[in-house]
Each structure stands twice: as structure tokens, then as C-alpha cells.
Amino acid sequence: MPEFISPLELYEDEEPKGDSQDPQDVDLDAMRELVLRAHPDVIPEMIGGDSVASMLDSVEPARAAYTRLVEAWEASRPQAVRIPAGGGEKLPVDPEKLPAAEKIRRGLQMTAAGQQKREG
């Protein structure tokens, strides 16, 4: 007949799991992904280390670098040009630089505008 083994004896033979994990057993890649999700305002390449503590220590420098980068980008971003409604004033045109077809078009336009003033 087989011998009965006490559950306590079985429990003592097992290696402890869970609470007393060795720091080397922690998956650092998964921890890095978790830190990056928790802190989207950091430079990802600056988050790293060979332990959880060193990885968490790298968060503040990465956040400070990110903040400096955003501020520099905002300062160097070109400002929007304001164009007044209605197109603004007409720019002066050098008649010497206009092609012949444009000169003819403008002349005909001026002639037609003059005739409308006389008629109206």
C-alpha cells in the first residue's frame, strides 16, 4: 500500500512563489513598457536600467529632457502669418516685368471700367 504524504510535507518541499521573488526574475522589458505607459511625458530612449529601482530613477531625468524638448520646439515653431480678410491691399506691380498678355488684359479691364462709369 502506498504511503500517505502529508500536505505540509509537500508544501515544505516546494520553492516559494510570488511574494519572495528574486529581483533578477522580474521581466525588465515588461517593467519598462509599464513605466512608459504610466509616464507618456518622457523620452522613451532614456528609460532603462538593470533593475526596477534604476529604471524608476531614470523617469525624472527623462521627463525633464522631454519638457526641455517641448519648450524648445514651441519656441522655434514659426508664428502664423495674419492675412486680413478681403485680401488686403494690392501689391505694387512693376509694369516692365508683366508679360504682354497681362498688360493687354489690364488695359481692356480699365477701358471697360471707364465705360461703365460714363454710362452709369
Q: Tens digit of pLDDT for each residue in 67-91?
A: 999 999 988 888 787 776 776 677 6
DSSP class of 20: T
Q: Residue 7's pLDDT is what?
A: 61
Cα(6)–Cα(15) distance, integer angstroms? 17
Q: Tens digit of pLDDT for each residue in 19-78?
A: 555 555 568 888 899 999 999 999 999 999 888 899 999 999 999 999 999 999 988 888
DSSP class of 11: H
